[in-house]
Amino acid sequence: MELLWNDLSVLRLIHRSTEQVEVAGSIPPPGGCRAAELLDCSAEVEISNCKTETGKLNFEGRLCITIAAADETGDTFAFVGEIPFSHCTENADFAAGMLSNALPAVAVLDMRLAADGAAAFSANVNIDFIVTSAAPVRVLSGVSGVADMEIKSMQCRTARRVEIGSETIRFSEKLSSEGADSVLSFSAQISVRDTAIENGGTSVSGIITLNALLKTSDGELMQLTRGVPFRESLSAAVGADEIYTVAELKNVSLRALGTEFSLLAFDADIDFRIFGIRRSVIDIPTDAYSPSLNFSCMYEKMTVANACGGSFAQHSLRENLSVPDGMADIFAALNAAARPIATNVSIEDSTMTVEGLLFTRIIYRSSSNRIYSFNDDVPFVLRMAAPSEANFAQLRLNASASISGGSGRTAQVSYNLDVSAEYFSESAVSAVAGVAETDNSNDADGKSTGIILCNACAGEDAFDIGKRFGVPSQRVRELNPDSAEPFKDGDKLLLFV
């Protein structure tokens, strides 16, 4: 018995999960400075390498920390540090050459002042990752010499995400900021809001959100929150059913050009990756039998992964944050910074619900001219439309916060939250991957022969009835021309066995 094979081109979902990595370290202040109080701490995380090997997935990345501090005289300064990290997750299903897609996010960030004046910090980094395999799946297409073999197949719609273009653009912009003499710390986040085919090219537009803590020539602190729009024309291959773009900022800098100019220079490399969705339909064999040959099917269980596209949404909210007990009242609220983290994501009825927290840091000045800072966690819930077939999504969350007012025990903060989502679906399938010959000679003696009347079960078709009684499915149809498939529970079918 020689088996005949067919190779299916289907993307299989091997594993998806969120791993948490602990990163800790110490960042010394620049020479000649000694921190008496830590005012703010922000972090950017980047995965530089994500590679599957036999039985494991290796991550390598780095955490970039920016610290804003005050010395014993109240003068403020900032310093930065970079901590590399690595992580390995084991899974027996992982193999070399599998595809991996990882999105990192800082979930927890704590800092404290060490005895030597350095900033000691600890962070938990969440890595949301998907591992898939594009290796062809070998399935049964027949058995040589067995002319009456019947194979039941199901049509499976597939949609694969393919990169159809990538480009790095150097972006520069001059921003007005009256009185700014230096930049202590800042964060920059990018959101792609639209991707369109225009005049034979691909137009990508969106916004870069800057949140900076600035210092005037008099030593005063001030906040800059600015949205910088962008629109770029990129090259991409054609032939995709749907396109969307993912962008990342690299080599970002923000510097003051001097008080006399009242300008800030913002520069960054923007890495654009344009993805297309290519759809197809494949036939997957799910069952097989032969009236003349006794065999049992061997199955390969797999989860088919499909890309469902990307979308963007924006969410705004305002909150009143209270000064913790034991701290002085607010005389002037100076700066607010927020770091978002999703705590739960669900998709139901074409709607994605995202629950999370905005970890917020407030810097303010008291009536005694002393600078204070405190943290608060602001919960949020947002909903956005999702493709009807989507089961899960990978999210990129960006948040900006700005002081809208503050005095006494309360600071008023306005938030803008950008959500970029890539959607996927997963469906479990059992495909016939082979057959094993069986000996049913003892069962044959007990089988009924001749003309029989059988009762169908709900959902059965001629293939199922034929396999049950060992007759060709076409004969089932010929003897029961008035019975529609799939059969109803209790339908009586005439057979000649």
Span 132-185, pLDDT tens digits: 999 999 999 988 888 899 999 999 989 988 899 999 999 999 999 888 888 988
Q: Residue 339 pLDDT more than 70? A: yes
The whole-angstrom separation of Cα 105 and Cα 127 is 6
DSSP assignment of 422-433 equals EEEEEEEEEEEE
Q: Residue 442 pLDDT more than 60? A: no
The whole-angstrom separation of Cα 88 and Cα 50 is 10
Q: Check if the beta carbon of residue 328 is closer than 8 Å to that of residue 407.
A: no
Closest to 138 in 3D by CA, of 302, 295, 281: 302
pLDDT of residue 219: 83
pLDDT of residue 76: 87
pLDDT of residue 445: 42
Q: Check if the beta carbon of residue 460 is closer than 8 Å to that of residue 444.
A: no
- pLDDT-based confidence at residue 446 (cuts at 50, 70, 90): very low
Give the pLDDT mean for 294-309.
92
- Segment 476-483 long-range contacts (CB within 8 Å, at least 24 positions apart): 483/456
Q: Residue 436 pLDDT more than 50? A: yes
Give the pLDDT mean for 45-60.
94
Q: Residue 441 pLDDT more than 60? A: no
pLDDT of residue 39: 86
Looking at the chain, the whole-number percentage of residues with pLDDT higher than 70 is 98
More confident residue, 408 or 72: 408
pLDDT tens digits along 311-335? 888 899 999 999 999 999 999 999 9
pLDDT tens digits along 213-240? 998 888 888 899 999 999 999 988 876 7
The whole-angstrom separation of Cα 10 and Cα 433 is 14
For the record, the structure tokens of 322 come out as 């209270």
Q: Residue 30 pLDDT more than 50? A: yes
In the predicted model, what is the mean pLDDT of the chain? 90
Give the pLDDT mean for 431-455.
73
Give the pLDDT mean for 26-35.
84
CB neighbourhood size of 309 (10 A) = 21
Q: pTM for the whole thing?
A: 0.85
